[in-house]
Structure 1
């Protein structure tokens, strides 16, 4: 008589570890066996690396310590790295996100470029409400958002905390909100089920300032 469809497996198989755990990671690429979800059309012009990673976390429910490891094999997730060129393994990250290396390079600070950058996270409340943070927001030469003309802020309005602009677990696990008290920086941020775009006029303004401030001899090499 053939065993029924619901018969228990032989004892040797029953004692073996489960073949399909809830999350199986490829240790070399740090990607789950079924792959991640990320769409390039979710990205906006001159979007910062931190903003890109926040969207990736929201879409895949990936913890910050795993995302930090995408930045390079030697990165300490809790210490993190400043999101600038030379600190991030762009090819490794690009394979995981399926995003071009040129897009990722544009999301990073230029350590020897024309612009000078803040060591603190600076944000526009209107941009954050759309789930967007620009690499331009980190430029100390700009005091207002190029798109919305609102003053750029560093301090949490509830507790006054100023977050260092370092891609570490603390910042990555606090998308669009204060890493100390959890208060929102503006609105509810971004959701993969309701991605919102910048108006065309805002996109043009951001792109124009990016070319004026960032494109120069240091970046055209």
Structure 2
């Protein structure tokens, strides 16, 4: 197979947890609730993928998340580790995520916060896993105030979870899907200065898309994350 001059890139997905009704996502760089079920679902979705975050979000985690490429977007240089890469701007972060996804034959990567990062990637996000935490009114210093217009987004799936010993508040997870996906493409030449493994994987990546259309495959993967009651 001859590699074409342009290749469709992986799709961008956001994962957000916010309070209802105030849309708070953080207080002093920490989550304002304890939801072990939501954290477990976050892990199951993101393991094996690239995840893009800001410096403060990375610091709030306390360590690099294992089994993923942690891409930290920051204006200032950031110390890199085996599974941590620093991106000085959005375009660099996207290229890193694209390279990792192609090399690992993944159809998507994730944007996980915080507030500024969600805004900066909003134009390329095709899918959002939104957790609405029914905590009542709380004060916070970071928010996700985005409203999902039904003209531009549709609710693919939705499930409610009760408060339990492991989950401080009841919450709802909705998967929002952009009606007109943003299909990013790159010229193959953009990868020639990176690891040669990328070029060797491009044909496999193209075959994966041809045999299993990206959107159908992502839907099946994400549907399986909603266990039956």
Q: TM-score range by the shorter chain?
A: under 0.3
Higher strand share: 2
TM-score, length-scaled by structure 1:
0.24
Structure of larger gyration radius = 1
TM-score, length-scaled by structure 2:
0.24
Of structures 1 and 2, the one scoring higher in RCO (CA 8 A, sep 6+) is: 2
